[in-house]
Amino acid sequence: MMLEKIIALSRKSSPWVCHFNSGGCNACDIEVMATLTPRFDVERFGIQLKGSPRHADILVCTGPVTKQIRERLLRVYHQMPTPKYIAAVGSCALSGGVFYDCYNVLGGIDRVLPVDVYVPGCPPRPDAIIAGIVKVLQKMEADALELGDQGRASAAEGGNSRVSH
């Protein structure tokens, strides 16, 4: 379908990113910021960092989920318009990392929300973050072409994203 192709192209060429630190150590955050700077300049791919989750397509989460932040993370996620994607950046966001047994840490982002792409590293280099975002874009394109919004939602529930509330 022509229309679907155009939608897929526009989505993958214009991903707006909202960054959320769910309790990390800042390292991943500064590397996410560094992807904006002249050396890496993600605006090349049309990526823009947006302050409002309402404008975002991809939620980039860094850090393990602390007990206090959980609710806020969910709220930010629910504020985003569909289709929405989540990239977990950094080992803490993947599984809790070195904070795996801390009493105030719930674990990785996927304990709370469905994660689409995992970017390991402590912190990942900006190159690795870009590579991760490119993976999200691939997924976006595939979703727009094959599944559409409804299909994606059901795929996220039954697919590889393990959600446990």
In the region spanning residues 66 to 105, those forming contacts with another protein, defined by CB under 8 A, are 66, 68-69, 72, 76, 79, 81-83, 91-92, 94-105
Q: Which of 58, 85, 109, 110 binds another protein (CB under 8 A)?
A: 110
Query: Collapsing DSSP states into helix, strand and coil, what is residue 61?
Result: strand
Q: Which of 17, 60, 119, 156 binds another protein (CB under 8 A)?
A: 119
- Give yes or no for residue 150 binding another protein (CB under 8 A): no
**Strands, E assignment, 34-151:** 48-49, 58-62, 65-66, 85-89, 105-107, 117-119
- Give yes or no for residue 142 binding another protein (CB under 8 A): no
Give 110 or 113: the residue with its C-beta nearer to another protein. Answer: 110
Q: Which of 58, 86, 130, 156 binds another protein (CB under 8 A)?
A: 130
- Asked if residue 64 has a cis previous peptide bond (ω within 30° of 0), the answer is no
Site for another protein, residues 29 to 58, rule: CB under 8 A: 29-31, 33-34, 37-41, 43-44, 46, 49-55, 57
Give 103 or 165: the residue with its C-beta nearer to another protein. Answer: 103
Nearest approach, Cβ of residue 158 and another protein (Å): 13
Judged by CB under 8 A, how many residues of this single chain contact another protein?
86
Q: Pairing between strand 58-62 and 48-49?
A: unpaired
Q: Do residues 140 and 83 make contact, with C-beta atoms less than 8 angstroms apart?
A: yes
Q: Which of 17, 86, 121, 154 binds another protein (CB under 8 A)?
A: 121
